[in-house]
Chain A
Amino acid sequence: MTAVLSPRNIADRLEKEFPGSIVSSDDNSFEMNSTFLVPAARFLKDTPGLDFDFLSYITGIDRYDHFELVYHLVSLKHNHSLTFKVRCYGRDNPSAPSLTPVWRGADFQEREIFDLLGVRFEGHPNLKRIVLWEGFDGHPLRKDFLG
């Protein structure tokens, strides 16, 4: 059984490592400040004992006033998992740092979020529309998208 690590615990460690990086935490996940995303991700990936080598999925949720990005990490070595979230604000040009340099698996998923939700990922090597065509008007998964 994949053990779910306590998000509070991890959040405390991250806060100690990168002061100011954690916004809040509860029993299921913790929320991270987007500026610390890449260093924190490297920390989670490389720290012995955590070893989150497998980025299971990324997804985005439109919460009207902000976009919530959900990251789900798994460690194949220790068979444990972790969920954390990042908020990005603004409807016009919301952005978050890209995790592609850390986990290549983020590549297509970030492009998909960019395509369907319109969240820009800074530092992504090839950020362009993936499933829809160039010139498509709007981002379909936004709640205010008019089909």
Chain B
Amino acid sequence: MNIVYHGIAVPDMKQLPPDWPGGFFWHWLVFTVIIFTFVFTLVMAFTWVERRGLGRMQSRLGPNRAGPFGILQPVADAIKVLLKEDIVPSRSDRIVHWLAPVVAFFPALLIFAVVPFQNGALLADLDIGILYVVAISSVSTVGIFMAGWGSSNKFSLLGAMRNVAAVVSYEMPLVLAVIGVVLIAGSLSMNQIVLAQDIPLILLQPLGFLIVFIAGCAEINRSPFDLMEADSEIVAGFHTEYSGMKFAMFYLVEYAEALALSAIIATLFLGGWRGPVLPPWLWLVIKVFAVFFLMVWTRTTLPRIRIDQLMALAWKFLFPLALINLAITGLQVVAWPDALPWTMIIVNFAIAAVLIVLWSRLFKVGWGRVEV
């Protein structure tokens, strides 16, 4: 009972309960374990990659004493942080302070429910996969705001406020850019979007890729948009008052969100698990690391922007471009559904280049102070 989609057979799990004992239960259990393992392993790998990468880019070595090439460094960090004293400030709102890391952590994990590791291998092949991702990813903000509020620390509150402002603004261009992908793929399901990518969609949607990358970075507090934990301004932002295990949770959230964003970008734009020779899950991991490397790169290179410039960038630069991108994509899908891919690639890259150059003439980051 497979659905044939773009010439590839897809197991339709909604109509076919597995006939092994327990039905979906085992499926969920296995995938939950896989997702937990995937997230924790890759988060550790990410911290290692980031610290070694930062080191190399700053002409240093990076951690290399704990284990060969320092690969046990994340393990040491994890053990140490988990065993540190957990301080709850006396003036804090205890319940909110305690709950915040949990609320922030689980949405980052839940996103992986719809990320396909290979054809049909995902926890829940939702028809509305993208919508689910967009909806879930913003829930972390609630946790971060709870952290800022519950700590009863002024720096924390400032950081939390900044985060909320950023997420509210950047959700808009992010979603609009993702819709471009949906239009081309013709489905909201993550798995079917991957199946639709005979050529990676980054080639057809270069502008959309850039917008999603930038807006995603802004949502998950990666540099140059890391205003929420800007250590040169507001100490450590929303997690200033967190220590021990709760801080470890926030640390995990930070990288799990980066991982989620990398996975979504890899799935939407880089062809997900598809690729020759290597096994599909390995392709996904490789693509995830490629996207994450871009993030590390921008983090080492760029200074931080200010909160009003962050807002201006979202509303004056990304939002109009995302709208234009959506309009052009819609036009292309309706008017030339059968156009040769290579012509579309050339046309789309040209359009992206022209738009970016034009808009950067019209708009400078420093122009116009938007009060927030």
Q: Do A and B have CB atoms closer than 8 angstroms in the complex?
A: no
Interface residues of B, Cβ cutoff 8 Å to A: none
